[in-house]
């Protein structure tokens, strides 16, 4: 990392570990607010990708190493205007860029400001001078403005004014599910600008089995498989289902009272894994930022592609089908999310995330994931990113909210998306040919 200007004040000199600590805490602060604001998984991914784009582009601007800007690689992203780096410390500037973008995209700006103030107090205690902090934050704010101007062109604002989605009353079509019978989440997400895909349908998704209600029909057999598996769950399968639940808005019902339990989104879980692995491998700040950013890009394109399939095929959820055609009293272990079933979002984004993280850290890296400890669940150990993705995928069958085809074909789609991200967004400069 290229340090620019004086970084330390009186008494102590900040270290590379301090830089990484501040950066990770900035990400964690943004996650806290995303959870509190109950953003849907696709919208959360959008917030994360622009926040980490700002951080990554700031670090690239200040480094002399092999990492390449996303400008010219991602649609609409141009190099930033000339920035004055006098007195700037890159890690602090990147931290500010991340927070400043996040602040604009969340609802609870005041809460994020409070968390950011704690970061800057920590930076001061760790030895950064007031002058360095001010100069670095100024650079971060300028980069944030540049990234936010790019984000404004992704069609998100336009989708906010589209009419409310009306469920189709057709055989096999998705209908809202209990307990809240909530409205469909992000039915127009396919219109959001992808980052490495040519369109929302760029990657090929196999169609689901044709709908049918007779016992010899393939669709009926898939639903029966969900019923049978969920009727005989082991303790480990229950744990796996709950571990990967990642429902940002779990609706609790007690009599006439309804209240929400707020949890991390699926994308938030995978970004937490990216952060934990960066710490566990002692990755430098540049590689850490690349891990967050590359994963966030995979999440963004994964949700765009997945949501295109969801509303194109509009498949009924197992809960609705099983109650109508197999057992009217059956309930899934997990609360059914409010959008069509096919394909499984966890399967798509987990596999895409595993592909890009494997490209950075290798196919056999084992890691410990403590993401769900805050929600009362134990740590889990994985031998590879792919093993974690496979477990995240099968968890949706154990939870009773997806058919097996949605998992298998969702993983195939996620693999394509991850490979496309790596093809279109090459963060590390390739060595020159001799």
pLDDT digits (tens, 9 = 90+) for 156-168: 999 999 999 999 9
Residue 29 lies in a domain: yes
CATH code of the domain covering residue 149: 1.20.144
**Chain centre to alpha carbon of residue 109:** 20
Co-location of 402 and 254 in the same domain: yes
Average pLDDT, the chain: 94
Distance CA 381, CA 102 (A): 31
Whether residue 387 contacts residue 190, with contact meaning beta carbons closer than 8 Å, is answered with: no
Range 4-16 average pLDDT: 60
Q: Which long-range contacts (CB under 8 A, 24 or more apart) does 255-263 make?
A: 258/179, 258/180, 260/38, 262/35, 262/36, 262/38, 263/35, 263/375
Co-location of 129 and 249 in the same domain: no
Residue 3 lies in a domain: no
The continuous run of DSSP H or E covering 104 comes out as: helix 90-105
pLDDT digits (tens, 9 = 90+) for 221-264: 999 999 999 999 999 999 999 999 998 877 766 555 565 678 89
**Angle in degrees, CA 122, 125, 130, rounded to 5:** 90
Co-location of 104 and 226 in the same domain: no
Residue with tokens 């990484």: 20
pLDDT score, position 65: 80
**Chain centre to alpha carbon of residue 246:** 11
For the cut 60, the answer to whether the pLDDT of residue 3 exceeds it is no
Co-location of 176 and 37 in the same domain: no
CA separation, residue 294 to residues 5, 166, 230, 271 (Å):
29, 35, 35, 10
pLDDT digits (tens, 9 = 90+) for 337-372: 999 999 999 999 999 999 999 999 999 999 999 999
The continuous run of DSSP H or E covering 369 comes out as: strand 367-369
Residue 10 lies in a domain: no
Confidence band (pLDDT; 50, 70, 90) for 13?
Answer: confident
Confidence band (pLDDT; 50, 70, 90) for 14?
Answer: confident
Co-location of 46 and 183 in the same domain: no
pLDDT score, position 248: 85
Whether residue 308 contacts residue 417, with contact meaning beta carbons closer than 8 Å, is answered with: no
pLDDT digits (tens, 9 = 90+) for 94-145: 999 999 999 999 999 999 999 999 999 999 999 999 999 999 999 999 999 9
DSSP annotation of 182 = P
pTM of the model: 0.95
Distance CA 260, CA 344 (A): 23
pLDDT score, position 433: 43
Range 271-287 average pLDDT: 97
5-19, 41-55, 351-365: least confidently modelled range:
5-19
Co-location of 284 and 389 in the same domain: yes
pLDDT score, position 431: 52
Residue 102 lies in a domain: yes
Co-location of 46 and 178 in the same domain: no
Choosing from 132, 154, 176, the residue where a domain stops is: 154
Q: How many folded domains does the chain comprise?
A: 2
For the cut 50, the answer to whether the pLDDT of residue 5 exceeds it is no
Residue 48 lies in a domain: yes
For the cut 70, the answer to whether the pLDDT of residue 176 exceeds it is yes
Co-location of 129 and 47 in the same domain: yes
For the cut 50, the answer to whether the pLDDT of residue 7 exceeds it is no
Co-location of 89 and 188 in the same domain: no
Co-location of 111 and 51 in the same domain: yes
**Chain centre to alpha carbon of residue 229:** 28
Co-location of 127 and 52 in the same domain: yes
CATH code of the domain covering residue 384: 1.10.606.20
For the cut 60, the answer to whether the pLDDT of residue 44 exceeds it is yes
Q: Is the dihedral of CA 349, 146, 35, 44 positive or negative?
A: negative
Share of the chain above pLDDT 90, in %: 89
Co-location of 150 and 174 in the same domain: no
Distance CA 123, CA 94 (A): 13
Distance CA 223, CA 2 (A): 56
- Domain span at residue 85 reads 16-154
Distance CA 338, CA 175 (A): 9
């Amino acid at each position: 990392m290229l340090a620019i200007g004086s970084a330390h004040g009186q008494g102590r000199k900040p270290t590379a570990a301090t830089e990484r600590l501040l950066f990770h805490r900035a990400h964690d602060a943004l996650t806290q607010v995303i959870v509190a604001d109950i953003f849907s998984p696709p919208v959360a991914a959008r917030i994360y990708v622009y926040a980490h784009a700002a951080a990554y582009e700031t670090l690239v601007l200040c480094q002399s190493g092999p990492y390449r800007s996303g400008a010219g690689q991602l649609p609409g992203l141009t190099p930033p205007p000339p920035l004055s780096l006098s007195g700037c410390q890159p890690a602090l500037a990147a931290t500010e860029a991340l927070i400043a973008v996040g602040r604009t995209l969340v609802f609870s700006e005041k809460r994020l400001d409070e968390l950011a103030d704690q970061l800057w107090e920590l930076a001061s205690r760790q030895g950064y001078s007031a002058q360095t902090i001010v100069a670095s934050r100024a650079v971060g704010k300028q980069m944030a403005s540049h990234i936010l101007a790019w984000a404004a062109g992704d069609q998100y604002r336009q989708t906010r004014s589209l009419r409310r989605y009306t469920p189709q009353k057709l055989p096999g079509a998705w209908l809202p599910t209990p307990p809240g019978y909530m409205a469909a989440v992000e039915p127009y997400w396919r219109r959001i600008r992808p980052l490495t895909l040519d369109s929302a349908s760029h990657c090929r998704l196999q169609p689901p089995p044709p709908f049918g209600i007779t016992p010899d029909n393939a669709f009926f057999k898939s639903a029966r498989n969900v019923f049978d598996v969920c009727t005989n769950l082991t303790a480990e399968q229950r744990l796996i289902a709950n571990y990967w639940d990642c429902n940002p808005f779990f609706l609790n019902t007690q009599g006439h009272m309804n209240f929400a339990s707020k949890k991390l989104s699926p994308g938030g879980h995978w970004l937490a894994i990216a952060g934990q692995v960066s710490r566990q491998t002692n990755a430098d700040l540049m590689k850490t930022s690349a891990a967050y950013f590359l994963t966030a890009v995979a999440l963004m394109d994964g949700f765009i592609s997945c949501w295109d399939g969801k509303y194109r095929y509009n498949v009924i959820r197992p809960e609705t089908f099983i109650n109508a055609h197999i057992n009217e009293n059956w309930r899934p272990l997990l609360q059914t999310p409010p959008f069509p079933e096919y394909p499984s979002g966890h399967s798509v984004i987990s596999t895409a995330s595993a592909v890009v993280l494997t490209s950075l850290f290798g196919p056999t890296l084992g890691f410990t994931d403590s993401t769900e400890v805050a929600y009362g669940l134990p740590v889990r150990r994985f031998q590879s990113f792919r093993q974690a993705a496979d477990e995240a995928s099968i968890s949706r069958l154990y939870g009773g909210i997806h058919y097996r085809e949605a998992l298998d074909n969702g993983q195939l789609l996620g693999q394509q998306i991850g490979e496309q991200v790596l093809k279109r967004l090459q963060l590390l400069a390739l060595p020159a040919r001799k």
